[in-house]
Amino acid sequence: MVQVLDSSSLDPIVLELGQLFVDAGHEISLVGGPVRDLFLGRTSPDLDFTTDATPEQTLQVARKWADAHWEVGRAFGTIAFRKNGRAGVPLTIEVTTYRAEAYEKDSRKPAVAFGHSLQDDLQRRDFTINSMALRLPALELVDPFGGERDLRAGILRTPAAPESSFSDDPLRMMRAARFAAQLGITVHPEVRAAMTAMAQRIGIISAERIRDELVKLICGAHPRAGIDILVDTGLAGHMLPELPALQLETDEHHRHKDVYQHSLQVLEQAAQLETGPEGTVPRPDFVLRFAALMHDCGKPSTRRFEPAGAVSFRHHDVVGAKLVAKRMKALRFDNDSIKAVARLVELHMRFYGYGEAEWTDSAVRRYVADAGPLLPRLHRLTRSDVTTRNQRKADRLSFAYDDLEGRITVLEAQEELASIRPDLDGAQIMALLGLKPGPVVGRAYKFLLEERMEHGPLGRDDAERRLAQWWAEQPEADDDGGSSDGDSGGSAAEPATKGTP
């Protein structure tokens, strides 16, 4: 029986485009994610179509109809268009010629061959839930592999044998974990078994494609489920080995918690603390979530069994920051994301001890200065790192962090902590001390910054007095000109400083 879907939820341009192709003597269908999302009650921001028309024919049909077009995917059979839809909202449209592609045994690039039928095109797709099409303009549902049934059952299966599907494109194994994270569905046992058997084949996929799938997984509604699949099938061992390494053997006396499960719980708790679109950490925030997942990645290499029986992980924060930066660099993340995640990992232990020995205002200033714009994320990461079942301990840590945040708020109102600078800038320092640009100016600047951190705003007069006292104790004070034009590490610019409470 032919099933025809209601068109009311589709943008009218879908039917417009369908009619254009049919009038030109071609087949065309809405396919993949947009069809799946119709059943989920969601609207896809992008529209994917498949057709028997060649890329050249697609351009002939739709170039004048669209507001803009791109041919960057032409070699793969894809022409992209932009067209304003309902209420003038611009939509991205991709029209791809029926195709059948597969990876060569050791190649990172697919060998592309155009196909001849809609059914063959659907069979080459990754999963049955993405192997449904709406034939246009009639809106006839084409579902030869039971995608609607699997979607309703919450099961992820492949149209063909999973081994064949993953051999064609190994990245589909990561997509399976990603769909589990995004949709909360279960991976079919046969699919999971194939992923486990073929995990090493992920090695032929480029770092950039793996990175993009990882970001989508981490930002999904159920990231823990996706991470578990990556680790359990062995995929993580080939692209993010720091994760399975967290599965430390717990000693028989349980002197340390399960680091892997703890990290997953921290990830979940951090995601729950994200804010709405207008908040300081909008959901989903990859940087916060990935830092939460990887915050203890330095523990495996720093674990030590102490003589008294305790287990220590000294400096795992510093080691972890280096490890996560190295891994993100290998996965071709941008420098800003790498620095942000690594900095959060490095700082995630800074708060501990605040409850036992209350920090001075200077220590609070350093905490804020070292976190910089990452402070809202650091707040959430630190709170999420509490997974103890001891409610008294959890309450004590929560109250202590409440107190710290309160003190930060008070000091921020008084001192503009987010932009702490010395009371004198580099030019004023050089004028007062008669110096030329050079390392001595940098040392003087650092001294004033330390004074600012320690004592709060000094005012110009006090800052000048303290600088004069400091200068009188420097060996260069007796030299003519104070400093050479050479630069061996400092300058009249405003160098950053790093301290610990």
Evaluate the CA torsion angle 218, 220, 221, 226 in order and state its sign.
negative
Across 40-44, 103-107, 161-165, 391-395, the highest mean pLDDT is recorded for 161-165
Dig out the tokens for 20 from the structure.
Answer: 């254009």
Structure tokens at 231: 């680790």
Provide DSSP, 289-305: HHHHHHTTTTHHHH-EE
pLDDT tens track for 165-185: 999 899 999 999 999 999 999
The arithmetic mean of pLDDT across residues 186-192, rounded, is 98
pTM: 0.79
Q: What is the mean pLDDT of residues 406-430?
A: 78
DSSP code at position 4 = B
Q: What is the pLDDT of residue 322?
A: 97
Q: What is the mean pLDDT of residues 123-128?
A: 94
Cα separation of 193 and 433, whole Å?
72
The pLDDT value given to residue 46:
85
CA distance 380 to 384: 6
Q: Best-predicted range by mean pLDDT among 370-379, 386-395, 406-415?
A: 370-379
Given a contact cutoff of 8 angstroms between Cβ atoms, the answer to whether 184 and 154 are in contact is: yes
Does 220 have pLDDT greater than 70?
A: yes
* Range of weakest confidence among 55-59, 280-284, 432-436: 432-436
Residue 101: its pLDDT value, please? 59
Nearest to 200 by CA among 239, 228, 165, 227: 239
Query: Highest mean pLDDT range out of 96-105, 206-215, 255-264, 459-468?
Result: 206-215
Would the pLDDT of 263 be above 90?
yes
Tokens of 357: 């020995």
What count of residues does the chain have? 501
Six token digits for residue 280? 């300081």
Contact 398, 386 (CB under 8 A): yes
pLDDT range class, residue 485, cuts 50, 70, 90: very low
Q: Which two tokens stand for residue 91?
A: 């939509």
Using pLDDT thresholds of 50, 70 and 90, give the confidence band for residue 476: confident
Give the pLDDT of residue 8. Answer: 72
On whether the CB atoms of residues 371 and 345 are closer than 8 A, the answer is: no
Predicted confidence at residue 500, as pLDDT, reads 37
Quote the CA–CA distance of 223 and 285 in Å, as a whole number.
Answer: 12
**Contact yes or no for 93/87 (Cβ under 8 A):** no
Q: For tokens 């067209």, what's the residue?
A: 83
Model pLDDT, residue 146 = 96
Decide if pLDDT at 111 tops 90.
no
Residue 495: is its pLDDT beyond 60? no
Report the alpha-carbon distance of residue 121 to residue 115 in Å, rounded: 7
Give 111's strand partners. Answer: 102
Tell me the helices (H) and strands (E) count for the chain, helix number first: 22, 13
* Average predicted confidence (pLDDT) for the chain: 87
Name the pLDDT band for 216 (thresholds 50, 70, 90).
Answer: very high
Burial of 2 (0-12, 13-18, 19+ CB in 10 A): exposed
What are the two backbone dihedrals, phi and then psi, of residue 5, each rounded to the nearest 5 degrees? Answer: -90, 155
Query: Picking from 294-303, 318-327, 387-396, which range would have the lowest pLDDT averaged per residue?
Result: 387-396
- Report phi then psi at 141, rounded to 5: -75, 125
CA–CA gap between residue 222 and residue 211 (Å, rounded): 18
CA end-to-end span of the chain, whole Å? 71
Which ranges of 69-134 would DSSP assign to H, the alpha helix? 118-123
Q: Compare 399 and 219 and report the one with higher pLDDT.
A: 219
Mean local confidence (pLDDT), 77-94: 91
pLDDT at residue number 250: 55
Q: Please list, residue by residue across 54-76, b when 16 or more beta carbons sit within 10 angstroms of its beta carbon and e when fewer do.
A: bbebbbebbeeebeebeeeebee
Instruction: Give, in order, the Cα–Cα distances in Å from 408 to each of 9, 105, 279, 475.
Output: 49, 57, 18, 38
Burial of 402: CB neighbours in 10 Å, binned 0-12, 13-18, 19+: exposed
Q: How many Å apart are CA 270 and CA 380, to the nearest integer?
A: 6
420-475 pLDDT, tens per residue?
778 888 888 888 888 888 888 888 888 888 887 777 788 888 888 888 889 888 88
Residue 2 has pLDDT above 80, yes or no: no
**Interatomic CA distance for residues 297 and 246, integer angstroms:** 7
394 pLDDT exceeds 80? yes
- pLDDT exceeds cutoff 70 at 496: no
**Residue 148: HSE in the Cβ half-sphere, 13 Å Cα cutoff:** 12
- Give the mean model confidence (pLDDT) for residues 17-24: 97
For residue 353, the model assigns a pLDDT of 65
With a cut of 60, say whether residue 233 has pLDDT above it.
yes
Q: What is the pLDDT of residue 276?
A: 81
Q: For residues 12-25, give the mean pLDDT.
A: 95
Lowest mean pLDDT among 333-347, 413-427, 471-485: 471-485
pLDDT of residue 103: 59
| Residue partners of 249: CB distance under 8 A and separation at least 6 | none
| pLDDT value at residue 452 | 79
pLDDT at 490: 38
Q: Assign 286 a pLDDT band (cuts: 50, 70, 90).
A: very high
- Mean pLDDT score, 213-223: 97
Nearest to 207 by CA among 195, 197, 215, 196: 215
pLDDT at residue 483 is higher than 60 = no
Q: In the sheet that 78-84 helps form, which strands lie side by side, from edge to edge? A: 68-70, 78-84, 90-97, 46-51, 28-31, 133-135, 140-142
Residue 1: its pLDDT value, please? 39
